[in-house]
Structure 1
Amino acid sequence: MPLHQPDYELDGFEPADDGHQQHYEDLDISSFKVLGEYRTYTDAYFVLLDEGATYGIPGSPQLRAVHVSRDLRARTFEVDSKELPLYAMAQSYLIARGCPSDALDAPEGVHDPADDRTRALEARVRGDGDHFALLASYTDDMRDPVQTVVMLRSLDPQAAPEFRILLEQFDWDSNSHTLREGGFETYAAAVDWWEAWSDEEAPALPPPAPTARRSPAQTAPATPVPPVSRRPQGR
């Protein structure tokens, strides 16, 4: 199914301020294609694929969640968006901004869940997006199948395990994907798995069953990024 460029429907509207104008200009490029969209009379929500991302910084997220809101009386608009590595995470971002939870499914044949485990986990990611901080991600579109790995940290100090890794594998032939989850008691254990994945030697993800809480000495850095070659900001 061919993808199309987004239409933000902003003819006759002015940005609410210079920041929103700049944000709009940053999104008004031909490499963005619509994977999912939902509109109301005043708001529009998009999950966009950046087809140019593969030529940019290696590992960068290739999806962007976009929310456009229009003030019909003032004839102004506001735009906010965020790069995110997984479709369900983009949905979660937009749901938090007023989009109905079931309104942004990708068109059939574009980005289909391959099995029930994937559907169930994506539903949980959509609903729990504000419970976790995104620590790092890497999209490797040179692998077959394409793989995206994401490291999350729970924002609940009582949650166990504190660290999660999500692994998506996307098959171009079927346009379908699987999503799997692993739980790690410590940041160091999560990084060890990430490094093994970077070397294409990753073991199976450990089930995210509850574990004992760690001691304070094992707490992760405030803004950790796995010290591996395939980190989000470059090789």
Structure 2
Amino acid sequence: MRDVAFGLEGLFPADPPSLQARRTMWEGDLDLFASHSETRGPGRDITFLLAHDRSATWGIPGAPALRSLIIERDQYAGLYLFSVAPHSLTALGQAWLIARGCPREPILRLPDGLLEPADDATRALEEQLWSSGDGLAVHDSWSDLPATWMIVQDPAAEVLPVRVLLEVPDYDAGTYTLTEGAFVSVADAREWLEGDRDTPMPQPPGPGFTERRARAASARSPHTPDPAAGPCRERPPAGPDASGGPGRSR
């Protein structure tokens, strides 16, 4: 894994949220999965980062360990904006960054050595999640062996709006599967997760489900940082936990 460098030498936080977010992150604790940087004007640039936070190992059991970060720097003003969001699933960490103006290609390009999608169904579901932005409201999540799961609310779903996202690693094969189940309520979702999980999850209904979710995601206005605005004028909104698994590292 590559080391993370925030590039904040000589800069000061532009606002209290940036100071607080920066205090929660230490470069030495992060393993970089993907990044993208670009210039936003004279003396201004922005960096998008997806990383695994090793310090989560000593935190609350099952808590998200993936971090999505956005750092905006204004060298002339001597200021920076710093935003961070935790995630349980890599695809949702990527989606959070994409929704805030990060190009898809660099942030979807993960390093060698991580587990790979096991099948086309996993790839298709991740493709849906990349377009979800902040559209999934997270009720609960767990990031640890034997599986990572999330209970989320899908506002694009007309029926069975509560969804379970379940990621199961296969370290011998070097792969993982990601599946989705649809439930009437959070209680029903918890009941399935707390059972033996031998019964297949109810599938999202209707052939138009994917199209409805895509339309709902496109209807939301994703936050794209204004190249004409420096860090002291605008900050990218932080998202809810979206969730972070242990990075699927072998």
Could you list the structure 1 runs, at least 4 aligned residues long, displaced by more than 6 angstroms after superposition.
none
CA distance in structure 2 between the aligned counterparts of 1:164 and 1:201, rounded to whole angstroms: 15
Deviations 1:75-102 (A, max 9, x none): 2110011111000110111111110122
Cα displacement (A) at 1:174: 4.9
Cα displacement (A) at 1:160: 2.1
Q: Tell me how large the CA RMSD over aligned residues is.
A: 2.1
TM-score (norm 1): 0.78
Runs of at least 5 residues in structure 1 that lack an aligned partner in the other structure = 211-235
Question: What corresponds to 2:91 in structure 1?
Answer: 88
Number of corresponding residues: 201
CA distance in structure 2 between the aligned counterparts of 1:50 and 1:202, rounded to whole angstroms: 32
Correspondences of 1:1-235 after superposition (within 5 Å): 3-41=1-39, 42-105=45-108, 106-141=110-145, 143=146, 147-156=147-156, 159-196=158-195, 200-210=196-206
Cα displacement (A) at 1:29: 4.6
Q: Is the 8 A contact 2:4 2:27 kept in 1?
A: no
Cα displacement (A) at 1:167: 0.4
CA distance in structure 2 between the aligned counterparts of 1:165 and 1:116, rounded to whole angstroms: 19
Q: Is the 8 A contact 1:33 1:49 kept in 2?
A: yes
Question: What corresponds to 1:217 in structure 2?
Answer: none
CA distance in structure 2 between the aligned counterparts of 1:30 and 1:93, rounded to whole angstroms: 23
Question: What corresponds to 2:248 in structure 1?
Answer: none
Q: Is the 8 A contact 1:109 1:176 kept in 2?
A: no
1:168 partner letter:
E
2:152 partner letter:
L
CA distance in structure 1 between the aligned counterparts of 2:73 and 2:198, rounded to whole angstroms: 46
Identity, in percent, stands at 31
Question: What corresponds to 2:42 in structure 1?
Answer: none
Deviations 1:25-46 (A, max 9, x none): 2212522211111111211111
Structure number with higher relative contact order (C-alpha < 8 Å, ≥ 6 residues apart): 2
Compared CA separation, residues 51 and 202, structure 1 to 2 (3 A): farther
Q: Is the 8 A contact 1:35 1:110 kept in 2?
A: no
Runs of at least 5 residues in structure 2 that lack an aligned partner in the other structure = 40-44, 207-250
